[in-house]
Amino acid sequence: MSQATAVAPQTKAPKFTVRKVKGKKKLPPGQRLLLYMFLAAFVSLLTANLIPHGKSHAVPQVSAVVEVMPFPLTSRLMTLEDELAKLSDKKKLRTGLFVVEPATGRYAEMNGRQPFMAASMIKFPVLISLLAALDRKTVSLTEKLTISKELITGGSGYLQWRPVDSKITVKEAAELMIIISDNTATNLLIDRLGGLEKLNKQYAGWGLKNTRLNNLLADLDGTNTTSPYDLCYLMGRIERGELITQSSRDWMFSIMHRTRIKTLLPQGLNPGDRIFHKTGDIGKMVGDVGLVHTRDGKRYLVAVQVERPHNDRRANELIRTLSRAIHTTIIKPSDGDVDETIAGTDATIRAAADQTTRHP
C-alpha cells in the first residue's frame, strides 16, 4: 500500500516596488566624502572597543624600559677626566671607565657607556640573577647542581677537574664563581637560571644596555659584553636596596669582599679601605668593578675595562694607576672644577643621597 506524499502549495514571492522619493537631492561629492570618512572612523573605533583585550587581533604593546637612576650625576669631575685620559693614552689600549660618588653626585667617565668585552666581570650580573631567583624561592642554596659534560669548561676554577655527574650546591657554585672566578660553576648557574637568553632579557629589564651573554664561559674570544656604566649602575641599584632583598645583598657583599684577585682596583686604595668587587681577565681584556668604602667614610662605585693586545700587562698596570688617581680625587674635600653648590643642596639630590647611605 503506497503512501501519498503531501505537497505544500507553492506561493509566489511578493513583489517589492521601489519608489523614488522626490525632492531628495544627492549630497555634493565633497560632503559625501566627509560623511564616508566619518562613518569609517566610527566603525574603526567601534571595532577596536569590541575586540577583547589580549586577543590575537590586538596589536601587542611593547613597554619601554624606564631607567631608574640609582645615584645622582650632578658634578662632573673634569680635572679628573683630563688626568685619566692622559694616563690612558697608550698605544693599542682601549680604556673604558666610570666612577661615581653617590652621596654627592660627583662622577667621571671615559668611554663608560660603550660596550667592552666582559670576561669574568659578567659573573657579577649572573650573581644578581641568582640572588633574585633565591628571593623568589625558585632556587634554593642547598639545591644540588650536576656537573654535566657540556657545562665543563677550561680557564679559571677547579670544578673542571671534578668527575662528570658529580654534584655541588648552589651556594658552593655561587661562592666559587665570585671568589676564585670558577668558569664551570658559572655555567652551572647560568643553566639553572634558564640559559643565556632568559638572563639577557632580565638584564635588559633592569636597564643594562650593553650587558649581554652570547656564550657560556670561558668565552676566551670575548663575545660576552658589558660596560663600565652598566656595572656601576647595577651595583648602585643593589647598594640602594633594589632588585634583591637585604639578606641577599649582605651575602653578596660578603662574597665579593673575598675575591681572591687583589691586583687591580685594590692596589689604588689606602690601608683600612674596603672594596667589594669582581675582576675579569682574558687575553684581550682585563677589568675590575667594585664598591669602595674608604676609611674616612666615603663611598664610591668604580668600573674599569681595558681592551688590549693579547695579555699585554700594561693594561693591568694602567688599572692600578687609574684606581690611585680616582681614589686621590674622591677622598679630597672638593675638586677645583666641581660646582659644589649643586651637589647636596637640591631636595631631589639630597633624597637620592639619603637612600645610598646604607653600608653592607
Would you say 95 and 228 are in contact if contact means Cβ atoms under 8 Å apart?
Answer: no
Residue 80 domain-assigned? yes
Per-residue pLDDT at 21 exceeds 70: no
Instruction: Provide the pLDDT for residue 236.
Output: 98
Q: Domain range holding 337?
A: 75-354
Residue 48 scores a pLDDT above 60? no
Choice between 73 and 360, residue whose per-residue pLDDT is larger: 73
Q: Among 7-16, 26-35, 136-145, 219-228, which stretch is predicted with the lowest mean pLDDT?
A: 7-16
Helix residue ranges, H only, the chain: 29-50, 78-87, 123-136, 170-179, 183-192, 196-206, 228-239, 246-256, 314-330, 347-354
Tell me the pLDDT tens digit for each residue of 260-282.
Answer: 999 999 999 999 999 999 999 99
The least confident of 24-38, 113-127, 238-252, 310-324 is: 24-38
Mean pLDDT of 193-202: 98
Q: Indicate if the pLDDT at residue 139 is higher than 50.
A: yes
**Alpha-carbon separation of residue 28 from 31, 35, 244 (angstroms):** 5, 11, 68
Burial class (CB in 10 A: 0-12, 13-18, 19+), 346: middle
Q: What number is the average pLDDT over the span 187-211?
A: 98
- Residue 319 within a domain: yes
Residue 156 above 50 pLDDT? yes
Compute the mean pLDDT over every residue in the chain, rounded to the nearest whole number.
Answer: 84
Residue among 98, 118, 122, 96 at smallest CA distance from 108? 98
- Which among 263, 241, 271, 250 has a CA at the least distance from the CA of 323? 263
Domain-located, residue 95: yes
Q: What is the pLDDT of residue 68?
A: 76
Return the residue matching grid coordinates 668527575: 163
Looking at the domain assignment, is residue 284 inside a domain?
yes
Tell me whether residue 171 is in a domain.
Answer: yes
The rounded distance, in Å, linking the Cα atoms of 255 and 233 is 19
> Would you call 241 exposed, middle or buried from its count of C-beta atoms within 10 A (0-12, 13-18, 19+)?
middle
Structural domain contains residue 317: yes
Q: What is the pLDDT of residue 193?
A: 98
- The model's pTM: 0.77
- Within-domain flag for 11: no
DSSP per-residue letters across 232-263: HHHHHHHHTT-SS-HHHHHHHHHHHTT-S--S
What is the domain-level CATH number for residue 85?
3.40.710.10
- pLDDT tens digits along 98-137: 999 999 999 999 999 999 999 999 999 999 999 999 999 9
More confidently predicted of 147 and 18: 147
pLDDT for residue 18 is more than 70: no
Quote the number of domains for the chain: 1
Is residue 8 a part of any domain in this protein?
no
**pLDDT-derived band at 254, boundaries 50, 70, 90:** very high
> Beta-carbon neighbour count of residue 116 at 10 Å?
28
Dihedral sign from CA coordinates of 50, 54, 55, 56 = positive
Rg of the chain taking only CA atoms, in angstroms = 32
Between 126 and 333, the more confident residue is 126
* Proportion of the chain above pLDDT 70, given as a percent: 74
Res 332: pLDDT: 83
pLDDT band at 3 (very low <50, low <70, confident <90, very high): very low
What's the mean pLDDT in 82-105? 98
The more confident residue out of 168 and 335 is 168
When pLDDT is averaged across residues 292-301 and rounded to a whole number, the result is: 96
- Grid coordinates representing 338 are 666641581
Q: What's the rounded Cα separation, in Å, for the pair 152 and 183?
A: 8
**31: amino acid identity, one letter:** Q
pLDDT at 333: 65
